Amino acid sequence: MSATTPPSDRARREVITHPRTAAARSTAHRRGVRRDVTEQTELGITLMRSLRRAQLRLALVVGIVIAVVVGGIPLMFLAVPAVRDARVSGLSLGWVVLGVLVFPLICLTGWLYVRAADRGEAEFVDLVERS
Amino acid sequence: MTGSWWPVAAIVAVVLATAAVGTLGVRSRTTSDFLVASRSVTPFLNASAIGGEYLSAASFLGIAGLVLTYGVDMLWFPVGYTVGYLVLLVLVAAPLRRSGAYTLPDFAEMRFGSPRLRLLSSVLVVLIGWLYLLPQLQGAGITLRVLTGAPLWVGAVVVAVVVSVTVAAGGMRSITVVQAFQYWLKLAAISLPAILLVGAWHRDGAPVFADGGWGTPLSGFGGREYPLYSTYSIVLATFLGTMGLPHVLVRFYTNPDGRAARRTTLAVLGLLSVFYLFPPVFGALGRVYTPELAGTSAADTVVLLLPGRVFGGWVGQALSSLVAAGAFAAFLSTASGLSVSVAGVLTQDVIRRESRFGGVALRFRLSTAIAVAVPLVLALVAGRTDLAQTVTLAFAVAASTFCPLLVLGIWWPRLTAQGAIASLIVGGGSALVAVVAVLTFGPFTGLGGALLDQPAAWTVPLAFLTAIVVSLRTRDRDPRAVAAALTRLHSPEELEPRH
């Protein structure tokens, strides 16, 4: 049915329905989805690639934030001796940051990531189911 | 400390409880039961089990010892062990679950379809598992020696025997419950004494920790050379190595789906963050109350000795017993998880299905014996290094091998089987050379010594570079098969009915 639709935004939505066609379904419950997917159209693969790239972008954003914020701490200590020697109620700043503060930051980052990743997948599923 | 029976009684209680819960799960019979608890574990139970499994001798004893000796830079170990989980969450958790594989070699085969790569992965899983088991057994040895004066081999043998019996009897299903229990035991055993110790320190008028650079980042305190290089090498090894640890990976297959895998990992981040607030407290207060341990091979025992040193009488006895129980929970849980993983790979790839060793249960039990026996022999003959240091070598090997394999394999369609194989050989080979050199001839000094002690900063980039360069110069099998594998890794469960 998608073959006759003109190449527009609408056409793209039509193509997404392919995995729900009878042919795809008949193989979907076999062991492994490999065969199901290898029988998919180029456009089906393109679609999955777009989801993969969106998730990769998200992962890279989080990865870069970790690398800069957490991975940058030693460089900051090296570059700014005042920060390295600073004291917070008797403890050096290094203790406060590495012993305590970094942990809530890690958890918050993880929580934000899981929310964003789940939302990205839910939107993708919505898009496919709706079409 | 020697001669007190309280801590010994606590250890015996932990050992018996572990063995009892373990043998309750004797009904495990299928491959799925043994290896991944038939994938029926809820996120919270699974997260507690992962936390229980992950917090090893290095976390429970090693961090405090390193902090005592070398100061604030050592906090990068707990930070790295936690961030490693965040990196795992972001880059591999859900796709790995969706790969539907039991073990890391299964993943390699699913993504690349290469038997050679599968075999190489199996060998590396076993080597990393053995390297990580070694400090658990050594930790058990020094713990029993400190508490009872028993020779070093006694603790190692006790842990090896208990783990073999428990794992062989129940496999993954019973281990999950044991390890969830052990997380909470470890948290209680580290937090309660730490809080009471801080209170006692305040009561004493809050005497200052000896400083002279101990509290200052990158000061090279304790005679550490090249502190900036070492710090970044620890960062790379722990941030990227966690995802490549065999006992960590196998846990992901016990989640019902990819989304649950993410939730579980997030819960693990919370559990680890809470736990890691406490071990550095022992290292810091150790500078006040047990400074003579710093820089000696007994530094790893500061967690065990400090409560008895600060508190006299029954309070000291009770707290010493609690930390001893927590330490043994750490050895047993991590060693169990590693043994399950190593035995799983041995069962699938070494002792083959068509062999004359009979059914899956028998083959799994034989594999367990091999998985535990080799590191036990190593623990009995090898010299002692810092517990957290040895564990970090295992992280370095994992980061130099399975991190490129997983990250590029999951996200980069152009990674070829040849690229992956070359990367495992170059990254794993160079990291293992460093590990063997350190464990047999170390410690070293100078720049070369720093490069060998903490190899990750050069072996990880080397492994990634090798994977990318070789992949760009080779062609893979059917590109549609690669697309299919990637689709399976990334498609939400709603779109793909699976089992």
Residue A8 pLDDT: 47
Mean pLDDT score across all residues of chain A: 74
A59 touches B: beta carbon within 8 Å: yes
Residue A131 pLDDT: 58
| Distance of alpha carbon B83 from alpha carbon B268, whole angstroms | 11
| Distance of alpha carbon B210 from alpha carbon B223, whole angstroms | 15
Which of the listed CATH numbers 1.20.1730.10, 3.10.129.10, 3.40.309.10, 2.60.120.650 matches domain B6-384?
A: 1.20.1730.10
A7 vs chain B: nearest CA distance in angstroms?
Answer: 24
If one compares A98 and A42, the residue with the highest pLDDT of the two is A98
Q: Kindly determine whether residue B216 and residue A104, on different chains, have CB atoms separated by under 8 Å.
A: no
Least Cα distance to B28 among B177, B179, B136, B152 occurs for B177
Distance between terminal CA atoms of chain B?
54
Extract the tokens encoding B357.
Answer: 């060793």
Q: Which residue has the tokens 């591999």?
A: B92
Task: Characterize the bridge pairing of strands A91-92 and A87-88.
Answer: antiparallel
SS3 A86: coil
Extract the tokens encoding B7.
Answer: 């801590």
Residue A61 pLDDT: 95
B220 touches A: beta carbon within 8 Å: no
Extract the tokens encoding B218.
Answer: 């990158």
Instruction: Answer yes or no: are the C-beta atoms of B227 and B214 closer than 8 Å.
Output: no
Least Cα distance to B41 among B183, B186, B252, B265 occurs for B252
**Please, which residues have CB within 8 angstroms of residue B373's CB and are 6 or more apart in sequence?**
B160
Name the residue facing A38 among B262, B484, B490 (closest C-beta): B484
Distance from the Cα of residue A67 to its chain's centroid: 17
Instruction: Answer yes or no: are the C-beta atoms of B431 and B397 closer than 8 Å.
Output: yes
Closest chain A residue to B235, measured at CA: A71
A47 touches B: beta carbon within 8 Å: no
Q: Kindly determine whether residue B75 and residue A34, on different chains, have CB atoms separated by under 8 Å.
A: no
Residue B22 pLDDT: 64
Q: Look up the pTM and report it.
A: 0.87
Extract the tokens encoding B406.
Answer: 């997983």
Which of B59, B67, B83 has the most A C-beta neighbours within 10 Å, making it the best mutation to test the interface with A? B83
A77 touches B: beta carbon within 8 Å: yes
Residue B429 pLDDT: 96
Main-chain dihedrals φ then ψ at residue B358, nearest 5 degrees:
80, -150
Q: Kindly determine whether residue B487 and residue A48, on different chains, have CB atoms separated by under 8 Å.
A: yes
B212 touches A: beta carbon within 8 Å: no
Alpha carbon dihedral B245, B250, B252, B255, in 10-degree steps, equals -160
* Total residues belonging to chain B: 499
Name the residue facing A19 among B217, B485, B495 (closest C-beta): B495
What does the pLDDT look like over A85-94, one tens digit per residue?
Answer: 888 777 788 8
DSSP β-bridge partners for residue A87: A92
| Distance of alpha carbon B30 from alpha carbon B170, whole angstroms | 11
Q: How many CA atoms lie within 13 A of A116 on its CB side?
A: 17
| Distance of alpha carbon B239 from alpha carbon B161, whole angstroms | 32
Q: Is the previous residue joined to A6 through a cis bond, with omega within 30 degrees of 0?
A: no
Main-chain dihedrals φ then ψ at residue A92, nearest 5 degrees:
-70, 155
Weakly modelled stretches of chain B, pLDDT under 70: 1-3, 22-41, 170-175, 209-210, 352-358, 383-385, 442, 477, 496-499
Q: If you ran DSSP here, which 8-state letter would residue A101 be given? A: I
Residue B461 pLDDT: 96
Extract the tokens encoding B170.
Answer: 């129940």
Residue B165 pLDDT: 84
Instruction: Answer yes or no: are the C-beta atoms of A49 and A23 closer than 8 Å.
Output: no
DSSP β-bridge partners for residue A19: none
Main-chain dihedrals φ then ψ at residue B403, nearest 5 degrees:
-65, -55
B89 touches A: beta carbon within 8 Å: yes
A72 touches B: beta carbon within 8 Å: no
| Distance of alpha carbon B96 from alpha carbon B116, whole angstroms | 21
Distance between terminal CA atoms of chain A?
12
Name the residue facing A103 among B72, B91, B277 (closest C-beta): B277
Closest chain B residue to A56, measured at CA: B411
Question: HEC string of chain B?
Answer: CCCCCHHHHHHHHHHHHHHHHHHHCCCCCCHHHHHHHHHCCCHHHHHHHHHHHHCCHHHHHHHHHHHHHHCHHHHHHHHHHHHHHHHHHHHCHHHHHHCCCCCHHHHHHHHHCCHHHHHHHHHHHHHHHHHHHHHHHHHHHHHHHHHHCCCHHHHHHHHHHHHHHHHHHHHHHHHHHHHHHHHHHHHHHHHHHHHHHHHHHHHCCCCCCCCCCCCCCCCCHHHCCCHHHHHHHHHHHHHHHHHHCHHHHHHHCCCCCHHHHHHHHHHHHHHHHHHCCCHHHHHHHHHHHCHHHCCCCCHHHHHHHHHHHHCCHHHHHHHHHHHHHHHHHHHHHHHHHHHHHHHHHHHHHHCCCCCCCCCHHHHHHHHHHHHHHHHHHHHHHCCCCCHHHHHHHHHHHHHHHHHHHHHHHHHCCCCCHHHHHHHHHHHHHHHHHHHHHHHHHCCCCHHHHHHHHCCHHHHHHHHHHHHHHHHHHCCCCCHHHHHHHHHHHHCCHHHCCCC
Closest chain B residue to A44, measured at CA: B487
The CA–CA distances, whole Å, from B97 to B272, B331, B348, B492, B499 equal 21, 27, 19, 11, 12
Name the residue facing A48 among B82, B266, B490 (closest C-beta): B490
If one compares B27 and A61, the residue with the highest pLDDT of the two is A61
**Please, which residues have CB within 8 angstroms of residue A59's CB and are 6 or more apart in sequence?**
A113, B90, B91, B411
Give ipTM to 2 decimals: 0.89
Q: Kindly determine whether residue B488 and residue A37, on different chains, have CB atoms separated by under 8 Å.
A: yes
B92 vs chain A: nearest CA distance in angstroms?
Answer: 10
Q: pLDDT-based confidence at A14, cuts 50/70/90? A: very low
Least Cα distance to A111 among B238, B47, B82, B267 occurs for B267
